[in-house]
Structure 1
Amino acid sequence: MTGWRLLLTRPSEECEALAASLAEQQVFSSSLPLLAIEPLEETPEQRSTIFDLDRYCAVVVVSKPAARLGIELLDRYWPQPPAEQHWFSVGAATGAILEDYGLPTSWPASGDDSEALLSLSAFSDALAVHDPKVLIMRGEGGREFLADRLRGQGVAVDYLELYRRCLPDYPAGTLAQRVAAERLNGLVVSSGQGLENLQRLAGDAWADLARLTLFVPSPRVAEQAVEAGAHNVVDCRGASAAALLAALRQHPAPTL
């Protein structure tokens, strides 16, 4: 496992935490954040949604930034969150933020995506009420899969969009130069948008970079990576440090 030399592409704070976990296992990493989080300005629509929080039988929080920004709204408008409300996240790290705040939160034991959440029995139980309504806290845009599936089951779904993701501004050639200078042999992305930004920043160098091992968090992103031309894709079955480390143990680093 120590032969891996990885490029980390998460938002800056998340890169720092992941790099520290990798360093504890003697895995070299280099951070080049490809997602910057920009909070959205609060709107009357946002306030109206948060004021009506008690209308929802379940609240789903899809990411760590959504958890942090959602908690800020709770602090402003709900010093005491609605009792008996069920909170869910699509991953353990996001769930831990909500739990630390005192919200009773459930998440899938394995898998950090909407598909895993839909299979969670506690989530099904929370929806087993008359006229179920679900609020999804997320970034601007994103997948419609979860909402579409819920609406197909007769569940009313609203969004509370709290931030947008954007690609930081880097000089042309930054990605390829970093990979070459630090002799990196693996790339790590945590979402489909992260993969899109990786390709965008790579530009003409993508054909060469696509030959490096690419670690992704889910079957959906793995399929997206293969379609984009990546040659060696490893599905970590989760976006956590533990999931990445498990994948590194199962896949020996390439020899130079």
Structure 2
Amino acid sequence: MNGWRLLLTRPQDECQALADSLSDVDVFSSVMPLLEIEPLPVDAAMIAQVLDLAHYSAVICVSKPAARLGVDLIDTYWPQPPMQDWFTVGAATASVLSDYGLTVHTSGEGDDSEALLRLEALEKAIEWPQAKVLILRGQGGRELLAERLRERGASVEYLELYRRCLPEYPAGALMRRVEAERLNGLVVSSGQGFEHLHQLAATDWPRLARLPLFVPSPRVAEMARQAGALNVVDCRGASAATLLAALRETPVPAL
């Protein structure tokens, strides 16, 4: 497995944590964040939702930045947060909330909305008449969770806490990094991460599309294939453990 030389594209702090995990098993990685998290200014509407937290039947966090920023905001206005059920897309996000002392449910079947929607605990949390759900997330994003929960009879609100930006890189920087460091695999952790990779690659994309591309879910895998990626590996999760499992099962390409 130590023949892999990977490009990591998560936000800076997450990239470094993943790079450290890969280094422990002698996998080389190069950190090039393609997602930058910019917190949104806290306004009166956001504060009102936080103050109304006890009236939600369930609260869902879709990412680690949403969990971190949500906990900070709740800590400002709640000496002791209400004890309803919380739900996350992914175990890493769950750990942020559980460290804060919240009751958290997540799926062991995958790090995506589809897996979360299959959780029996979520079904129970919204089975009451006039159930309300609050989703903590970044600006924009998928509507699947809200759509499916509304179909089940719940009302859904968003608390958007940040925006995701593509850091500035010079033209051709991505291809130069891959060539200079002889990288033989690319890793993205979300749909927007892939979109930023594709955008930054620009005219170099046909060459990069030949490299193994490790993605966290079937949805992102389909996005990548639609864009022309030729060797997509669905890790079925965004954690270091799921990436390492995928690396063990995937032959190192001969470059």
TM range (shorter): over 0.9
Q: What is the aligned partner in structure 2 of residue 4 from structure 1?
A: 4
Q: What is the aligned partner in structure 1 of residue 119 from structure 2?
A: 120
Q: Whole-Å Cα distance in 2 between the matches of residues 25 and 129 of structure 1?
A: 48
| 1:183 to 2:182 alignment | yes
Q: Whole-Å Cα distance in 2 between the matches of residues 158 and 86 of structure 1?
A: 16
Q: Whole-Å Cα distance in 2 between the matches of residues 151 and 4 of structure 1?
A: 44
Q: Whole-Å Cα distance in 1 between the matches of residues 198 and 7 of structure 2?
A: 14
1:164 match: secondary structure: strand
Deviation of the 1:109 alpha carbon: 1.0
Deviation of the 1:110 alpha carbon: 2.3
| 1:170 to 2:169 alignment | yes
Structure 1 length-normalised TM: 0.98
Superposed CA offset, 1:161-182 (max 9, x none): 0000000001111100000000
Q: What is the aligned partner in structure 2 of residue 211 from structure 1?
A: 210
Q: What is the aligned partner in structure 2 of residue 97 from structure 1?
A: 96
Superposed CA offset, 1:73-125 (max 9, x none): 11111121113x00010100000010001001010012001000001111111
Q: What is the aligned partner in structure 2 of residue 247 from structure 1?
A: 246
Q: Whole-Å Cα distance in 2 between the matches of residues 226 and 91 of structure 1?
A: 23
Q: What is the aligned partner in structure 2 of residue 140 from structure 1?
A: 139
Q: Whole-Å Cα distance in 1 between the matches of residues 95 and 120 of structure 2?
A: 19
Q: Whole-Å Cα distance in 2 between the matches of residues 216 and 145 of structure 1?
A: 19
| 1:34 to 2:9 alignment | no
1:128 match: secondary structure: coil
Q: What is the aligned partner in structure 2 of residue 65 from structure 1?
A: 65
Letter of the 1:100 counterpart: D
Q: What is the aligned partner in structure 2 of residue 233 from structure 1?
A: 232
Letter of the 1:72 counterpart: D
Deviation of the 1:190 alpha carbon: 0.5
Deviation of the 1:255 alpha carbon: 2.3
Q: Whole-Å Cα distance in 2 between the matches of residues 7 and 241 of structure 1?
A: 14
| 1:161 to 2:140 alignment | no
Q: What is the aligned partner in structure 1 of residue 43 from structure 2?
A: 43
Aligned length: 255
Q: Percent identity?
A: 65
Deviation of the 1:211 alpha carbon: 0.5
1:74 match: secondary structure: helix
1:148 match: secondary structure: helix
Q: Single out whichever of 9-18 and 147-156 deviates more from structure 2.
A: 147-156
1:247 match: secondary structure: helix
1:65 match: secondary structure: helix
Gaps of at least 5 residues in structure 1 are none
Q: Whole-Å Cα distance in 1 between the matches of residues 253 and 195 of structure 2?
A: 25
1:172 match: secondary structure: coil
Q: Whole-Å Cα distance in 2 between the matches of residues 246 and 110 of structure 1?
A: 15
1:42 match: secondary structure: coil
Deviation of the 1:132 alpha carbon: 0.8
Deviation of the 1:128 alpha carbon: 1.8
Q: Whole-Å Cα distance in 2 between the matches of residues 200 and 255 of structure 1?
A: 26
Q: What is the aligned partner in structure 1 of residue 108 from structure 2?
A: 109
1:225 match: secondary structure: helix
| 1:21 to 2:52 alignment | no
Q: Whole-Å Cα distance in 2 between the matches of residues 28 and 68 of structure 1?
A: 29
Structure 1 stretches (4+) deviating beyond 3 angstroms?
Answer: none
Gaps of at least 5 residues in structure 2 are none
Deviation of the 1:130 alpha carbon: 2.1
Q: Whole-Å Cα distance in 2 between the matches of residues 93 and 82 of structure 1?
A: 22
